Chains A and B, each alone.
Chain A
Amino acid sequence: MSANTSAPMTGGQTGQAGPAGVGAGSVIHDLGYRRYDGLRLGRAQIVRALAWHSFRAAFGFGRGAKAKIVPLVALVALCLPAIVNAFAMSRGNARIVDYDTYTPTFRDLLMTVFVAVQAPELVSRDLRSRVLPLYFARPIKTIDYPLAKYLAFTGACLVMMELPLLLLYGGSIANVHGGAAVWGQTRALIPGLLVGLMWAVVLAAISLFLASLTGRRAFATGAVAIFFLLTFTLAEILLQVESNLNQVGPAVPVQTGPGGQIVKHVLPPAPDVAEKVSGLFSPFTLFDGVRMWLGGAADPADGVANPGAFGVVYALVLIAILALCLYGLAARYRKARLA
C-alpha cells in the first residue's frame, strides 16, 4: 500500500479545466500521511536542543507564571547589590561590593535557594512523570540525557553568578574615569568571573545529583537545601570550636607604654591545621578556601580564614566532589529503564 499520494485530485478530468466560468479547476488535496525526507539532526544537536529546553526550564520558561517566581526573584535579588553599588558610586563613593566575594552570605543563601528549587524542575519532574523511556527510545545515548541536563543547569547557575557581576562592572565603569580606572575594574572582574564559574560548575553537579535521586520535587528540594545548610553549619561549628581553642590563653602584652597601658598585643596565631580542615566540610567554605589560595582577598564575612598552602587540599576535595556527583548523576541514568 503506497504511503502517500501527493498529487491533488482536480475537479473533472485530470489536467483539464473545470466547466467554463467556474475557474481553472477545483482541487481536493490529499491530507494523508506524509513521510519525512528532510534533514535529521545528529546526537550533538539533539543534546543541544534538550539542553536549551532545560536551560529555559531552569528559569521557569515553558511552564507558566508560577514556575518563574523563584528563579527570577532570586536573580533580581542577586542583582540588587550591584545596582545599589552603582547608585552609591554615582554619589562619589568607592565601590562597595567586591567582584570576588560579592555579598557572601547573601549569595550563599540565594544560590542555595535557586539550586534547591530549580534542580528538581530539571530532573525530578521527568522521573515523576516516567517520561524517560521516551527519551531513551530516541537516537541518543543514555549518557546524553544527564549530560544535557548538566550543561543546561551549569549554564543557568552561570547566569545567576555572572549577571550580577557584569552589572556591577557596568555600574562601576560608568562611574569611574580614565582608562586606568577602567582597566583596574576589568582586572578585578576577571577573577570574580572565574569564581562564578567554579561555583556554577560545582553547585550544578551537586544539586542535580541529589535531585535525581527522587521524583518528588518537594523531597528533592528539601534534600538539596538540607545538604547545603547542614554542611555549612557543620563547617562553621567546627571552625568556631577550633578558633575558640586557639584563643585560649592570655593575650601576651609585648609593649607597655608610659603609665603601664598595654599598647600592643601579640596577634592571634595563624589558623592551624584543624581550622583549615574544618573548611573542607562545606562547598561554600571550599569555594572561599580555593579562592583565597589562588590569591583572592580575605573577606571578614568569609566562612574560613586563608588556608595558605593547604588550599591545594581544598581544590582537590572540590574536584573530588565534582567528579563524584557527575559520576553519580551518570550512573543514575545508565540503566535505560523502560518502565
Chain B
Amino acid sequence: MSVIKIENVSRWYGNVVAVNDITVDIGPGVTGLLGPNGAGKSTILHMIAGFLAPSRGSLTVHDVPTWHNPDIYRTLGLVPERDSVYAFLTGEEFVRATAKLHRLGNPGAATRRAIEMTEMSSAADRRIATYSKGMRQRIKVAAALVHDPEILLLDEPFNGMDPRQRIHMMELLAKLGAEGRTILFSSHILEEVEKLSGTIQVMVAGRLAASGDFREIRRLMTSRPHVFNVRSSDDRRLAALLVGRPYTTAVELTAKGLQVRTSDFGAFCAQIATLTRDQKIALRELLPTDESLESVFGYLISSQGN
C-alpha cells in the first residue's frame, strides 16, 4: 500500500539534471533516502513536499499530485535541512505559529504535544537563537509534527546532533513509523541510516541505484563474491576443506582467522554448519564482512548496481 508514488520523475535546471527518471513507491514505516552529496535527495524531498514541480513525470500522495496543492500540507510535514526558523522567537512561539498557520482547532494543545514528543519542553520558553544545532533540529521537527501529519519528510535530520540527541531522534522516528506514519528521511551518513530504517532508497547522481532492504540488496549483487570472516578451532584444516569446495573462490589465513570469499552465498551458508560439525571443528565466529550498509553503498556507488 503505497502512500507516495513517484513515476518517471525528472527534474532539471538547465543542463544540470538533479533527478533523472526515478520511479519508486514509498509506504508506511521508515524509509531512508541515501546518497552522496548532490545526488538529488533534497530535490526529491522538496518535490514530494510540493515545493518544486517535476520537469517530467508525476509525484502523487494518496494519488493526488503534490504540486500546486496546498491541501497536501494537512497530511504532510517537511523538516528542511537549512536553518529555517526565526531565531528571535521562542521555541514554543515558533511551533504555535505553525499550528496557527495550519488553522488547528486547539493550537495550544497541539503545540504542547508536539513539543513533548520532541522532548523540548524544558527549552521551549527560550529564544531559538540560544539553541544548539541539535535543539534547532528538534524544534523544526516539532513544528512539522504539530498538525499530526501522516507523512513526515526530513532532510538530513541528524546533522550536527550529538549521540544522545541522535538516539532520541531515531527512537522518535521509529515510534512514529511504527504508528503507521510514512517517514522518509535523507542522509549521507550511513551509520545513522543503518540503525533506523528497514527500507532504503539509494540515489546516485540523480538516479535510483537500489531499493529495498540493504541486506537483500547485497544478496542481489551476485557479481561480487561475498566475504566472510571465520574463526574456528582449526583454521588451517578448515581452510583446506573449504578450498576443496566449489563455492569457495579464495581463502586467506590471517592472524585474526580465515577470510573466505565465496561465489555462492547460499551454498556456503547451507554447508558450513554441517561441514564443521562433521569434521569436528568448533566454529567460533562466522561474520559476513561486507554486509554493512557502508559496503553495500560503496559497491553501488562504484559500479551502480549489479
Instruction: Establish whether A and B are touching in the complex (CB under 8 Å).
Output: no
Which residues of A line the B interface, CB within 8 A? none
